[in-house]
Amino acid sequence: MASTAWPAFLSSEVAEDPYAYYRRLRAESPVHWDEGLGGYLLSRHADVATAYKSPAFSTRNYEVHLEPVFGRSLLQMDGAEHSRKRALVSPYFRGKGLEMWAPVIARNIAGILDRSVTSASEHLVRQFRPGATVDLLTEFCYYLPVYVITDMLGLPHDDYDRFVAWYSAHIDFLGNLHRDPTIAARGRQATEELWDYLTPVIHDRRRHPGDDLISALVTAEVNGESLADDEIKTHITQLLNAGSETTGKALGSLFTHLLSQRELFEAVRADRSQLLPAISETLRFTPPSQMNGRQTTTDVQVEGVTIPAGSLVMLLIASANRDERRFRAPDSFDPGRDDLDHEKAFSAAGEHFAFGFGRHFCLGAMLSRSELLQASNVLLDRFPQMRLADGFQPHWKGLKMRAVEQLLVTL
């Protein structure tokens, strides 16, 4: 079929129901040129896996899509440079280093649930208590990962609104596939503000290092050299950004699925061994980050199509995760499915691509596993009667990042 018969990738029609569009792409045009994007779309599981692993699909696209707001981050590096720079932070995201944060996560979950929240829009003071109606997404799910990462970095919770404004502007910049100049300018402005904010913090940690991640970065040495302030700011910007909205959306999506099929909520509540499969299936079925860009370094053949060197290629995570060639009944949310190893979901051997795949596999996957498991367990314990609020219909939104807009629940 000629590509003119296709809706534009960046159209509202696709954003409304990307999964229907992706199904058609997989069937009819698995390597699809989209004029508005100015790039190719890869939609099948096997092709996306190959692209994540192949050096012919580089992350050079991030020079334009990310570097202006992050600086030169891990995502852009490869080879020895990537291994060295990732090794500076990876000990804090796995094994013993990760275990250190379990009490921080537990404290923050309790802290958020035990406080009163003043809802700015309704001027109401809300409390997380049985029978109350709250927006679980914005009043709980989004707070938790920001509080956790800011504790890890040793930054104050009081600046939550500023952190959210900054990382939201960065996520909009990254998702600015339409190349809207206002969004681009807002992203750059956010970096200026965040980096000004971080300058005195970094200087202070150089003089008085503590046991937080910023102190670890200021005292770290790579080949006998310490990191420059801007490199530290890049790491912090990336950590603040990468783990916040993604984890919040994953938690909101999980509870949307569980509460939309009450029997699943009850089953998971009664048997917590079903919780990890439900989380992993949520990440397959509705990945928060729906795609990653790449740039080809040479001409590459995929499914009989030649993608020229220097092309932008979107690896469609959300499509690969529902490829009928890989998963049975891919459009069903089924935590009991036997064609997905849930234990592997948070490792580089993961069978779906919610956390990417290959060299740039998500650094924070195990941290988010810990946050999602702990938070869900507490919510299930405290609010066994939780249900969707009367008359509330979840509405999914977003193309690059996707989740429900709100999650109104009665606790």
- When asked if residue 355 is in the footprint of ligand HEM (CB under 6 A), the reply is yes
Beta-sheet strand order (sheet of 39-42): 31-34, 39-42, 312-315, 292-296, 57-58
Shorter beta-carbon distance to ligand HEM: residue 403 or 411:
403
Shorter beta-carbon distance to ligand HEM: residue 50 or 292:
292
Of 34-42, 167-175, 186-194, 239-247: span binding ligand HEM (CB under 6 A): 239-247
Cβ contacts of residue 402 below 8 Å, gap of 6+?
18, 249, 286, 287, 288, 290, 318, 396
- Find the shortest distance in angstroms from Cβ 26 to ligand HEM: 19
- When asked if residue 39 is in the footprint of ligand HEM (CB under 6 A), the reply is no
Tell me how many residues contact ligand HEM (CB under 6 A). Answer: 23
Binding mask 123-162 for ligand HEM (x = CB under 6 A): --------------------------x-------------
Residue located via tokens 């069978």 = 351
Among 234, 286, 289, 290, binds ligand HEM (CB under 6 A): 289
Cβ contacts of residue 121 below 8 Å, gap of 6+?
none
Of 4-12, 184-192, 206-214, 353-361: span binding ligand HEM (CB under 6 A): 353-361
Among 247, 280, 290, 370, binds ligand HEM (CB under 6 A): 247
Shorter beta-carbon distance to ligand HEM: residue 218 or 239:
239
- When asked if residue 401 is in the footprint of ligand HEM (CB under 6 A), the reply is no
Of 28-36, 186-194, 270-278, 361-369: span binding ligand HEM (CB under 6 A): 361-369
Of 135-143, 284-292, 301-309, 389-397: span binding ligand HEM (CB under 6 A): 284-292
Of 11-19, 264-272, 357-365, 381-389: span binding ligand HEM (CB under 6 A): 357-365
Shorter beta-carbon distance to ligand HEM: residue 335 or 411:
335
Of 122-130, 238-246, 376-384, 400-408: span binding ligand HEM (CB under 6 A): 238-246
Shorter beta-carbon distance to ligand HEM: residue 227 or 362:
362
- Relative orientation angle of helices 262-270 and 244-260, to the nearest 10 degrees: 110
| Residue number of the CB atom closest to ligand HEM | 364
CA distances from 371 to 116, 155, 392 (A): 21, 19, 26
Among 31, 250, 316, 375, binds ligand HEM (CB under 6 A): 250
- When asked if residue 366 is in the footprint of ligand HEM (CB under 6 A), the reply is no
Among 253, 280, 292, 319, binds ligand HEM (CB under 6 A): 292
**Chain positions contacting ligand HEM, by CB under 6 A:** 74-75, 86, 149, 238-239, 242-243, 246-247, 250, 288-289, 292, 354-356, 360, 362-364, 367-368
